Each structure stands twice: as C-alpha cells, then as structure tokens.
Structure 1
Amino acid sequence: MMKEFLEAQGLEYKEVNVQLDAEAARKLVEETGQMGVPQTKVNGQWILGFDPEKLMEYVKK
C-alpha cells in the first residue's frame, strides 16, 4: 500500500527489502528500535506502518 500511495503522489522512493538485506535490517532496528514493515524515512523522520497523513506532513517540511 505504501508503494502504491507514493507512486500515486508522484513521489520518488528507494525500496529496501530488509528480508534480503541483513545489513539494512540491522541499521533499521538500530535507528528505529523496530523491525516491523513498512517503515518509511521522510526528511529524516521515520514513519512506522502505512500512515499517509503523517507521510505527507513530513514531505511538506
């Protein structure tokens, strides 16, 4: 759902699959303390789960 939302808004993103990239998974837990997905980093702020309102709030900053 997050990818579809980003695409519908015309926002570019980089997808990182933490199931396939152990180093990315380690960094994610180190930065957020969470392993749940999706996690989206926007302008230095992490969003856990699918939260389009919060995502757009951070995009506008």
Structure 2
Amino acid sequence: MMKQFLEGQGLTYKEVNVQYDQQAAQKLVEETGQMGVPQTKVNGHWVLGFDPDTLMQYVKK
C-alpha cells in the first residue's frame, strides 16, 4: 500500500527489503526500535506503518 501511495503522489523512493538485507534490518532497529514494516524515512523522520497523513506532513517540510 505504501509503494502504491508514493507512486500515486509522484514521489520517488528507494525500497529496502530488510528480510534480505541484514545490515539494513539492524540499522532500522537501531534507529526506530521497531522491526515491523513498512517503515518509511522522510526528510529524517520515520513513519511507522501505512500512515499517509503523517508521511505527507514530512514531505512538505
């Protein structure tokens, strides 16, 4: 859902699959304390889960 939302908004993104990238998984837990996905980093802020309203607030900053 997050990828579809980002694409629908015309926003570019880099997808990182933490299931296959253990370094990325470790960094994610260090930065957020969470392992759940999706997690989206926008302008230095993490958005947990599918939360388009919060995501767009950070996009506009």
**Bucket of the pairwise TM-score, normalised by the shorter protein:** over 0.9
TM-score when normalising by structure 2: 0.99
TM-score, length basis structure 1: 0.99
Residue aligning to 2:9: 9
RMSD over equivalenced CA pairs, Å: 0.2
Structure 1 unaligned spans of 5+: none
Identity fraction in percent? 80
Separation in structure 2 between the aligned mates of residue 32 and residue 56 of structure 1, nearest angstrom: 19
2-structure distance, mates of 1:9, 1:51: 14
**CA distance in structure 1 between the aligned counterparts of 2:6 and 2:60, rounded to whole angstroms:** 14
One-letter code aligned to 2:55? L
Residue in structure 2 matched with residue 26 of structure 1 by the alignment: 26
Deviation at 1:42, TM superposition (A): 0.2
- The separation in 2 between residues aligned to 1:54 and 1:32, in whole angstroms, is 16
User: Where do 5+ consecutive residues of structure 2 fail to align?
Assistant: none
